[in-house]
A and B are shown apart, each in its own frame.
Chain A
């Protein structure tokens, strides 16, 4: 057999290989036979057994959705709750005749057009054998009616499920947000395993930002069902792991006071606890009832919300971008001192307008005739003198303005633990070239120096800037959530302290005190009878441009064209504990409409929390 081992013999090798392949093919044929026999056994010989097994009495794994974590305010007031509700759903595959079934159910329960419309919408994107909800929160009577008629309602089933409920309704709509049914797009991106059995996902606000913590992990149960798919008994159960509860810095009472203070006005109130960055109130008025969205909002209701001129769905506190107006003056005053452009005792003469060198255009002061001669930094902030800041702003130049604006968080996201906050705009040369493709003009600097022109800020940014001013430059990101589950956030140390010489803060903060407490301060009325000292700054943001030599006349303008009123504040002036940013849309003057709102919030805060520290409710 091994006759010739010295030479490679291709023919012999080929023959050898051929023999082996033939043998291998015989084995392959044998194995194929085994497979065919096996499938024949299963699918033909024992077919009936398996049909019975598949049809009847089957064991099914069902996911048990975890209860979603609850949300509490800092004193344990419930902001988002789970309520047990009974939901009537239809499994189309089990219904004999879907049309007839709907007709029968209509006769028994009087289905509304909305319910049928929503049902049909969900029907289009269901998975096979997925129960499609028809009516939520069935009453006991309705459950009884269904139970009695069960024999002719194949495919209809009632299941108890937890339905999210927001007891504070419109007061917390924007902060807490809401959950809604998982839509098609989300189906693609969400982890199927974690969401098995869960139909809801956080859509906005905290519900969305903390989705991961709130969700929990599903449990499973092995259940035996009959041929109609009804559960006969539970064989084994692995409990779901409930989502983590959220405990907020927010105080529901302050939130309510914010809404009450705004009254019928549109606007936003943001209050921040300076020691922690914790958000005490985050109100955007008008609000809306988030409960509408939980079980699927009807067309009509949605249309009402989206077409209302008051734009209730719009979160003004986080997403509303307004010209910050004179509220930026303390920042730019501080910038002028710190960059050494002006000495502390610098004074100007204010004729009531400002002109760039060799230009005709008059940039006017809000006060006709001006604030007189020898206006210094203190008076310029207390009385909100525009001419002073025009002069100082132009001397500083846009680069310094935008540098210091950025230090106070303007034009940057604050990093709050909520989705989709707006960035605002702190204009600079590069920004303008990027946005408009043209160079920066000196006139732009003039506008920027009083917070007008391109500049935009959100109420949240204003509150953050106020906190940084009041605490002499301590940088803390605003936080809504204090604790999730067992984990406590106690990040109270500032992330950073702004690099500004300590002696420059004092004159600016003193001037902000004067805004409220000086006899000439723009917010002096808000300060009457105040038991503590508040530092603040009023602001007015133009909604319509005013032409040269034309006077702003409120009586001629419709309400929607009135100026926006702004106010930033912190209190007490020494070691402040609370800072606020407020905007009242079309409120005309910060002094008359926005400052009183701040007063009410801060009064309430000191009444509820008289001592510094130890003021966080324990669980």
Chain B
């Protein structure tokens, strides 16, 4: 008498041998049966890496903030909120994400318009929306909403995409980016646009188009320079080319941050012992420039270990994208992961004087609530894709 297993969730009956084989190959939970709410819908490896990164972040932040416990406590609260958001999002079925991707997208675009109309200015820029209890930057939402939207759109198309689809996907990415530029926040705008392009690229954008985009960018650059860039933005780019030209003005940040990084050497000066960081030479030392504090106090070794953590997280993201069950999942996971890497690259590049200073925080290390919550929202989606129930056929 053969032993039969009835899998209620899928309404099928299996031979015992097949059941055992499935269990061995895919592990428990293979049939997508109802699990305990926290049971398996968490990618524990990714979670572990993220927690390690947050730990490093808090340690550096403590030093960078001049040992201010209040800053540390607030950052910890942001992180806990972020983890909560991640866990919740991880439970959302991927198909729901795909179907309703347009909602966060439309909401994000709507809020951007609202910000332009009624937003709060800080340093001559309108980025914040005050909701009474919380003030936040709607442009952050789009860092997630744009790849979600583009992936959801392309996931339904026959791939590789044809001209009409490419144009539509580009518009989906460029329209919100243009609204962000109007704030003006060039750095975020480029990242928003890039996250959309990543999805398009991963979907198999033809080589002709890629060449076209690059050419278009080259043509657009001078136009950009003359009409779109604000003076302070031009200044940042000029400064990058020759920091010594304006020692006390715009060049100050780069000179001080490279000095901090360089004087850290291989081993670093030790926790709390960075003269550049602790003596207030370093500007924005607990937000965008925090990597300089780490580089000064923990040296090249510290930088490399941090980079290793980032590489491991990116690798995990890539693996999740390759294992995804649908094209939508692949595109979303892939573009979130690549965008995450770009944050790391742009931040480490700008602080070390490779790239112009565009306000991009170092993911999960820089102080700041909105960025943390948005990033964790993205990782929540990665986890949702990672734990999506496998299709047996």
**Residues of A bordering B, CB below 8 Å:** 2, 5-8, 10, 13-14, 16-18, 20-21, 24-25, 28, 31-32, 34-36, 38-40, 42-44, 46-47, 49-51, 53-55, 58-61, 127-129, 188, 222, 235-236
Contact = CB atoms under 8 A, between A and B. Distances in A.
B318 interface: yes
Contacts of B275: 54-55, 129
Interface in B333-358: 334, 338, 341, 345, 348-349, 352-354
23 contacts: A16-B204, A17-B321, A20-B202, A25-B318, A28-B314, A28-B341, A31-B341, A31-B345, A35-B307, A39-B304, A39-B348, A40-B300, A43-B265, A43-B300, A44-B266, A47-B262, A54-B275, A59-B248, A128-B272, A188-B68, A188-B70, A222-B248, A235-B248
A127 B67 contact: yes
B264 interface: yes
Interface string B63-91: 00011101000000000000000000000
Contacts of A24: 198, 201-202, 334, 338
B327 A43 contact: no
The listed residue with most A CB atoms (<10 A of its CB), out of B279, B345, B349, is B279
Contact of B330 (A2, A14, A34): A14
The listed residue with most B CB atoms (<10 A of its CB), out of A14, A34, A61, is A61
Interface string B16-31: 0000000000000000
Contact of A17 (B67, B248, B334): B334
Contacts of B204: 13, 16-17, 20
Contact of B300 (A2, A14, A39): A39
B263 A53 contact: yes
B219 interface: no
B148 interface: no
Contact of A50 (B198, B263, B300): B263
A61 B282 CA distance: 10
A235 B246 CA distance: 13
B45 interface: no
A59 B253 CA distance: 12
Contacts of B248: 59, 222, 235-236
Nearest to B278: A128
A32 B248 CA distance: 31
Given A44-B300, A53-B263, A54-B259, A59 B276 contact: no
The listed residue with most B CB atoms (<10 A of its CB), out of A21, A34, A39, A59, is A39
A60 B279 contact: yes
Contacts of A25: 318
A312 to B, nearest CB: 35
Given A47-B263, A58-B281, A42 B352 contact: yes
Contact of B265 (A13, A32, A51): A51
A51 B263 contact: yes
Contact of A61 (B261, B280, B322): B280
Given A16-B159, A28-B341, A43 B349 contact: no
B94 interface: no
Given A43-B262, A54-B260, A128-B278, A21 B303 contact: no
Interface in B310-333: 311, 314, 318, 321-322, 327, 330-331
Nearest to A222: B248
Interface in B347-392: 348-349, 352-354
Nearest to A43: B300
Contacts of B314: 28
B334 A43 contact: no
Contacts of B354: 34-35, 38
Which 6 residue pairs are nearest across A and B when measured between Cβ atoms? Answer: A50-B262, A54-B263, A42-B262, A50-B263, A43-B300, A16-B204
Interface residues of B, number: 53
A32 B311 contact: yes
Nearest to A187: B68
Contacts of A42: 258, 261-262, 295, 352
Secondary structure dominating the interface of A: helix
B159 A13 contact: yes
A39 B261 CA distance: 8
Nearest to A15: B204
Contacts of A188: 68, 70
Contacts, number: 137
Given A42-B261, A43-B295, A54-B259, A17 B311 contact: no
Nearest to B335: A24
B147 interface: no
Contacts of A59: 247-248
B176 interface: no
Contacts of A20: 201-204, 334
Nearest to B314: A28
Contacts of B345: 31-32, 35
A18 B353 CA distance: 34
Nearest to B256: A59
A21 B334 contact: yes
A272 B304 CA distance: 71
Contact of B281 (A32, A60, A236): A60
A87 B203 CA distance: 68
A544 to B, nearest CB: 49
B299 interface: yes
Nearest to A196: B280
A457 to B, nearest CB: 40
B205 to A, nearest CB: 8
Given A17-B330, A24-B338, A28-B314, A39 B303 contact: yes
B216 interface: no
A35 B348 contact: yes
A46 B261 CA distance: 10
A10 B349 CA distance: 38
Given A21-B202, A46-B262, A51-B263, 11 more contacts: A8-B158, A20-B201, A24-B198, A28-B341, A35-B349, A38-B354, A47-B266, A54-B260, A54-B276, A60-B281, A61-B281
The listed residue with most A CB atoms (<10 A of its CB), out of B159, B331, B353, is B159
A55 B276 CA distance: 9
A577 to B, nearest CB: 48
Nearest to A61: B280
B32 to A, nearest CB: 19
Nearest to B275: A54
A28 B348 CA distance: 14
A42 B296 CA distance: 11
B272 to A, nearest CB: 6
A50 B259 contact: yes
Nearest to A4: B158
Nearest to A10: B327
B160 interface: yes
Contacts of B341: 28, 31
Contacts of B259: 50, 53-54
Contacts of A60: 279-281
A54 B297 CA distance: 13
A618 B251 CA distance: 50
A43 to B, nearest CB: 4
B321 to A, nearest CB: 7
B202 to A, nearest CB: 5
B322 A18 contact: yes
A382 B330 CA distance: 95
A559 B190 CA distance: 81
Contacts of B311: 32
Contacts of A8: 158
A129 B278 contact: yes
A60 B279 CA distance: 8
A43 B247 contact: no
Nearest to A130: B66
Contacts of B307: 32, 35-36
Nearest to B319: A21
A51 B264 CA distance: 8
A418 B278 CA distance: 38
A13 B280 CA distance: 53
A21 B263 CA distance: 37
Contact of A43 (B68, B159, B261): B261
